Amino acid sequence: MGIKAMGYNAMERSNVPLTQQDFASDQMVKWCPGCGDHAILSAVAKVFPEIGYKKERFCVVSGIGCSSRFPYYVNTYGFHSIHGRANAVATGVCIANKHLSVWVATGDGDSLAIGGNHFIHIIRRNLDINIMLFNNKIYGLTKGQYSPTSDMGSVTKTSPYGTIEQPFLVGELVIGAQGTFFARAIDSNPKFITEVMLEAAKHDGTSVVELLQNCVIFNDGTHDMITGKDTKDDYQLILRHGEKMIFGKNKDKGIRMRRNGLEVVQVGPNGEGLDKVLVHDMYNPNPGVHLMLAKMFPPQFPIALGVIRSADFPTYEFLLQQQIDDCKAKSKIKCVDDLLNSGDTWEIE
């Protein structure tokens, strides 16, 4: 349970229907032509009207990086903070004003390198905040250095002979930090981004949506295996709650559980083997299968897209308010006069 479940936002709904244009900024969008950020911006501008809150109840917070220009490009309240500190600033915003719908725009460098500590702790605390993590596996704004998610062996300006570091897997990191919501989408499918973002907005707690985004200048084609016209059907597993984990161009492959983990299984034309295929349960409080799904990557597995985990746990704000209420109920001091007259007092004639 959290802020949404407590009904605090019921009064914040807009009295008139809002449209995508209502959230359009008058600022020039300065991302490179062809950058995946454009598709994400378009998708989010469609999500906000569907959420239904008044415009002044949205706040977008960012750090530093290409993705962190986001607050300028949506017509809402915004805070462009400093490198790696977006999640810390968003935490303060969320606690100070429980009526705001807080969205963080951040990148794989901003939140997983200099901001890594803040990232894991905002997830652990489970504040009601939506984190959009743009992952292009490179530092784009600072011109092409490798990032914490760059593939092993990536040749970049700071790894001319190839990186020798194991990359972070965002989903593994989120679930390891006790995350209650993790989803993944690709910039080449804006409609699906909108669908996933709506689920994130509904979630009571910290939602993290990893957005696989292409940097056309410094890391072009980094997601080609899962976005290519000839390969995407065999390397994308679209997850929906309550549905079988089926994929493939002919929908002839599925994911099943074996003793030592997940496995790809063939599904016959008449449904042979379908009974072995897992049904997705994104609400399962146990993160075991969710973690395995988040760690699947080509070529051995397809990549899992959609909402992987959406578990119901108390939010930080709910527990904080509960603690305050409990302390007030037990305290003998109910007002300032009670405080001033507490303890040893003297009357002076």
* The one-letter amino acid at 239: L
What is the extent of the structural domain holding 157? 3-222+315-340
* Count: domains in the chain: 1
Q: Is it the case that residue 270 has pLDDT exceeding 60?
A: yes
Q: 308 in a domain, yes or no?
A: no
For the domain that residue 84 is a member of, what is the CATH number?
3.40.50.970
pLDDT tens digits, 159-201 = 999 999 999 999 999 999 999 999 999 999 999 999 999 999 9
Q: 303 in a domain, yes or no?
A: no
Q: 17 in a domain, yes or no?
A: yes
Q: Which segment of 238-247, 266-275, 284-293 scores lowest on mean pLDDT?
A: 266-275
Q: 185 in a domain, yes or no?
A: yes
Q: 239 in a domain, yes or no?
A: no
Q: 299 in a domain, yes or no?
A: no
pLDDT of residue 7: 44
Q: 266 in a domain, yes or no?
A: no
pLDDT of residue 8: 44
**What is d(CA 195, CA 44) in angstroms, rounded to the nearest whole number?**
10
